[in-house]
Chains A and B, each alone.
Chain A
Amino acid sequence: MIDRLSGQLERYLDLLSARQKLVASNIANADTPGYHTQDIDFQSEFQNAATGTPNVLEVAGLAMKNDGNNVSLDRESRLLAENALRFNAATGLLRSQISSVRAAIKEGQGS
């Protein structure tokens, strides 16, 4: 039942969840002096098949305002939407996997 695909999908959900939490913090602190945008390295966390809490890092290459804040609402809004959509897709895939397995079990019932 716990095939590799659903294990990967669960990890995908974990990472999207973590990422979205950081996006929420970035948006809340869009005007906080000295606050730096935070994120995770999604690709490497996912591909390394690591477990546990991902590493939080500061994002490089963002424009710094006078008060030391480098949050870009454009970037965060884009990520917000993207993470939510990907989460939606992954939970959809998992739901259909679960249904399939359940149907396969039930089918074995009659024979």
Chain B
Amino acid sequence: MPAAISPISAPTLPSAIRPAGESPAGSGFQDIFSSAVAQVESMSQRASATVASFLSGEGEDLHTVALATQQADLAFEMFQQVRNKVVSAYQEILKMQM
């Protein structure tokens, strides 16, 4: 599990291919992406904090550490799936343009 996730800039879709009726700013792949990144980042930080607290003898329960790290792992795995889907969907769309 990576210690920190460097922000990934979502691919921006050219306005021409956005379906009509969709608001220009906001919805779409970018949003899904940002929210997934944010969730992974916050869970990862929380997990690191619990580990640090446990190691420094501040009395953090081991089960809290275990659950926090598992949640961070799951969030990351989920994020990977989302990223893969977004990228492949984007590539599909690009193909259709050609």
**A residues engaging B (CB < 8 A)?**
1-2, 6, 10, 13-14, 17, 91, 94, 98, 101-102, 105-106, 108-109
Contacts and interface: CB of A to CB of B under 8 A. Distances in A.
Contacts of B85: 108
Contact of B64 (A2, A6, A14, A108): A14
Contacts of A101: 74
B74 A10 contact: no
A10 B81 contact: no
Contacts of B61: 13-14, 17
A10 B77 contact: no
B23 to A, nearest CB: 27
A56 B51 CA distance: 26
Interface residues of B, number: 13
Contacts of B10: none
A17 B64 CA distance: 11
Nearest to B85: A108
B63 A105 contact: no
29 contacts: A1-B71, A1-B74, A1-B75, A1-B78, A2-B71, A10-B63, A10-B64, A13-B61, A13-B63, A14-B61, A14-B63, A14-B64, A17-B61, A17-B63, A91-B63, A94-B67, A98-B70, A98-B74, A101-B74, A102-B74, A102-B77, A105-B74, A105-B77, A105-B78, A106-B77, A108-B81, A108-B85, A109-B81, A109-B84
Interchain residue pairs A-B with the least CB separation, the first 9: A13-B63, A105-B77, A108-B81, A1-B74, A98-B70, A101-B74, A105-B78, A17-B61, A10-B67
